[in-house]
Chains A and B, each alone.
Chain A
Amino acid sequence: MIKFHPSPEQLTAFAEGTLSPVESLMVSAHCDMCSRCETRVADEVERAALEFDEPATSSHTEDQIYKSMFASITQVPADEATYLSPKAAPSAIELDGRKFELPRTLRRYASSMGNWSGLVGRLWQAPVDLGEAGVAHFIYMGRGGSVPEHTHRGCEYTLVLSGEFCDGLNTYDSGDFIYMNGEHTHAPHSDDTEGCLVFSIVDQPLHFTSGIARLLNPFSHLFFR
């Protein structure tokens, strides 16, 4: 069962289109998996659209602009391209012979993601380039897999796509939306027999806090960023 959701403020801002692109991506993917939040967002969109029920007036100058705008818009024929049937994009990703269905928002990354690479401790990751917003990762923790204990210099958003994992603070299930920042130190690991697949975005390199993983700190931007 999904226990961790975006905040009401995040859902409202997402509906209004004012949330940052990275947060929007995570909230959107969460809504694909969570009907509760999906419904709330739909309600918020309807509420926001009520603004259009208010009367609006326009000046003479604006009317002139509208006239030429109307003329130029209606000169263009209907968009024929939209009649084409959508190109079938892969909706799942594969790792080690296993297939994982992706939520709609993340499907486009199924074809643009980088290769899987093995990290320590039954941990696999594949990067997704988000341009200047940073790099997101699909991270797969096999049974007993773990990420070394770390804290965050920036924010970390994680969405559980399949299976479950715990991090010493909580246990997270498929669909859970997890937000971590500098106040949180955690060491995710999965005991799920099926392993656990998550999608994660970090806006600053992680800071590893224990053991040999500390060696990673000068280079952590190469790993999780």
Chain B
Amino acid sequence: MLVGIPLDQSNNTVKPKECASEMSAYIVEVAETRCKRSFAKVFNYFAPRLRSYALKQMGNEALAMELVQDTMSNVWQKAHLFNAEKGSPSTWIFTIARNIRFDMLRKLQNRKEDVCSDDLWPILCEQTADANEASLDQQVTLEQIGYMFESLPVKQKAVIEAIYIDGKSQQEVADELTIPLGTVKSRTRLALQRLKGMLHDND
């Protein structure tokens, strides 16, 4: 499989600065000539480091290796997006790994948020999301609420007004109107149901 491409660990002892320019050169080589030998240098240097970062972040060997693989795949496929003037190879690869981790975690937690790493850190993206017309209904204005409020039966309106506008407790309202507490509660419930119904009809 890997005939002629030695997977040695010799890069581990190289000083960071020299290493950065050396790695930069390899990545550029990968971008320009798809050179597997150059990619092997980058891969051998970063894969174990990525694994140790990923293990700390994900706490799981399988996920850590998935993160290593996804990150290095991106380095291989998108090497042309690396720009040595903007930062070191370490920084670039770190940001790729960070983004993949961010999206992996969201997926693991089953959170289908519309916030993905490409929006936050567009280091590898040139594509923009499709413009899907999201139409949110449930739009009501204060005026409409006021109108709906006016249309409530008088008794319900009095209770709602006392509780929600004057901020009185249900007991206070009961005392004031000399009606049982249970009646205040049921009028409140009925009124809110009615308002809810009107809000839905409004859609």
**Closest CB of chain B to A108's CB: distance in Å?**
5
**Known contacts being A81-B127, A86-B126, is A212 close to B165, with CB within 8 Å?**
yes
Per-position contact with A for B109-147: 1 when CB-CB < 8 Å, else 0?
001111101011110101111011111101111110110
Task: Kindly state whether residue B52 has any CB partner on chain A within 8 Å.
Answer: yes
When distances are taken between beta carbons in the complex, the residues of chain B under 8 Å from A216 are 142, 145
Contact status A46-B165, CB under 8 Å = no
When distances are taken between beta carbons in the complex, the residues of chain A under 8 Å from B192 are 218
Interface of B is mostly: helix
When distances are taken between beta carbons in the complex, the residues of chain A under 8 Å from B134 are 112-114, 129
Which A residues between 123 and 167 are near B, CB-CB below 8 angstroms?
Answer: 127, 129-133, 135
Task: Kindly state whether residue A193 has any CB partner on chain B within 8 Å.
Answer: no
In whole angstroms, how far apart are the Cα atoms of A222 and B115 in the complex? Answer: 22
In whole angstroms, how far apart are the Cα atoms of A118 and B140 in the complex? Answer: 9
In whole angstroms, how far apart are the Cα atoms of A79 and B73 in the complex? Answer: 10
Contact status B127-A87, CB under 8 Å = yes
Contact status B77-A79, CB under 8 Å = yes
Count of B interface residues, CB-CB < 8 Å? 85
Task: Kindly state whether residue A56 has any CB partner on chain B within 8 Å.
Answer: yes
Task: Kindly state whether residue A10 has any CB partner on chain B within 8 Å.
Answer: no
Contact status A74-B94, CB under 8 Å = no
Contact status A133-B115, CB under 8 Å = yes
**Closest CB of chain A to B86's CB: distance in Å?**
10
**Known contacts being A21-B113, A25-B119, A222-B138, is A54 close to B68, with CB within 8 Å?**
no
When distances are taken between beta carbons in the complex, the residues of chain B under 8 Å from A129 are 114, 134, 136
**Known contacts being A82-B81, A215-B149, is A58 close to B53, with CB within 8 Å?**
no
Contact status B128-A87, CB under 8 Å = yes
In whole angstroms, how far apart are the Cα atoms of A45 and B149 in the complex? Answer: 54
Contact status B7-A70, CB under 8 Å = yes
Contact status B127-A114, CB under 8 Å = no
| CB-based nearest A residue for B81 | A82
Contact status A66-B7, CB under 8 Å = yes
| CB-based nearest A residue for B133 | A112
Residue of A69, A120, A215 most packed against chain B (CB within 10 A): A215
Task: Kindly state whether residue A35 has any CB partner on chain B within 8 Å.
Answer: no
Which A residues between 37 and 88 are near B, CB-CB below 8 angstroms?
Answer: 45-46, 48-58, 62-63, 65-74, 76-79, 81-87
Contact status A28-B119, CB under 8 Å = yes
Contact status B114-A133, CB under 8 Å = yes
| CB-based nearest A residue for B167 | A214
Contact status B52-A56, CB under 8 Å = yes
Task: Kindly state whether residue A185 has any CB partner on chain B within 8 Å.
Answer: no
Task: Give which listed residue, B49, B73, B95, B199, contacts A222 with CB less than 8 A.
Answer: B199
When distances are taken between beta carbons in the complex, the residues of chain B under 8 Å from A58 are 9, 47-48, 51
In whole angstroms, how far apart are the Cα atoms of A127 and B136 in the complex? Answer: 7
Contact status B114-A52, CB under 8 Å = no
**Closest CB of chain B to A126's CB: distance in Å?**
9
**Closest CB of chain B to A84's CB: distance in Å?**
7
**Known contacts being A25-B115, A25-B119, A129-B134, is A73 close to B73, with CB within 8 Å?**
yes
In whole angstroms, how far apart are the Cα atoms of A83 and B78 in the complex? Answer: 10
Contact status B87-A46, CB under 8 Å = yes
Contact status B80-A82, CB under 8 Å = yes
Contact status A49-B131, CB under 8 Å = no
In whole angstroms, how far apart are the Cα atoms of A216 and B164 in the complex? Answer: 8
**Closest CB of chain B to A64's CB: distance in Å?**
10
Contact status A108-B129, CB under 8 Å = yes
In whole angstroms, how far apart are the Cα atoms of A85 and B16 in the complex? Answer: 35
| CB-based nearest A residue for B112 | A131
Task: Give which listed residue, B2, B106, B124, B127, contacts A71 with CB less than 8 A.
Answer: B2
List 12 additional contacts besides A67-B1, A112-B133; criterion CB under 8 Å.
Answer: A16-B98, A45-B91, A52-B53, A53-B16, A56-B49, A70-B72, A86-B128, A89-B131, A117-B139, A120-B142, A133-B111, A217-B164
9 contacts between A and B (CB under 8 A): A24-B120, A49-B91, A52-B90, A53-B19, A67-B1, A69-B47, A76-B77, A214-B167, A223-B140
